[in-house]
Amino acid sequence: MGLDDERRAFEMLCFNPYSLPAEFDWELAALGYYSKSQKERSDLALTAFEKEHPYESSSELQAFRELERMGIYSPNDFYSPEDAKERQLYTKALKRIRERRGIAKEKTGKNPAHQRRVRRHREVG
């Protein structure tokens, strides 16, 4: 990191004034102190935020990914948040396809027909 990066890190750290000496110290900057301190502060803040706001995929995005896994959509197809929000395009499509194929899913998300095949296969082998 250069001294300009250290100066920027120092300025960001100034938002928390009690944690720094009053003036920018060139020796500390040369040692990378400010950027290291800013990175630690930033990482702690991100960790706290992620703990309070865990990421959860929307049901529409989950349906899109399942349709992609089934081969209905390819990696070249893009998820459309607008279609998902306005028309529930992906959950409706997934429901329709499952109904046509006779796929009943339990709450665990496992296909009962597949589970029976696996059990039969284990019994035979």
What single-letter amino acid sits at 83? D
58 backbone φψ class: left, alpha, beta (φ>0; ψ -120 to 50): beta
| 16, pLDDT greater than 60 | yes
User: Residues 44-61: what's their mean pLDDT?
Assistant: 85
| SS3 of residue 81 by DSSP | helix
Q: For residue 14, what pLDDT is reported?
A: 79
User: Residues 111-121: what's their mean pLDDT?
Assistant: 48
Give the N- to C-terminal CA distance of the chain in Å, as an integer.
Answer: 61
Look up tokens 């309070």; give the residue: 52
* Nearest CA-CA partner of 6 in 26, 23, 17, 21: 26
Statement: the pTM of the whole predicted model exceeds 0.75? no
Whether residue 111 contacts residue 103, with contact meaning beta carbons closer than 8 Å, is answered with yes
Q: Would you tell me the crossing angle of helices 33-52 and 3-13 to the nearest 10 degrees?
A: 50
Q: For residue 71, what pLDDT is reported?
A: 92
Local confidence band at 102 (pLDDT 50, 70, 90 cut-offs): confident
| 50, pLDDT greater than 80 | yes
Distance, in Å, from the CA atom of 81 to the CA atom of 79, rounded to the nearest integer, reads 6
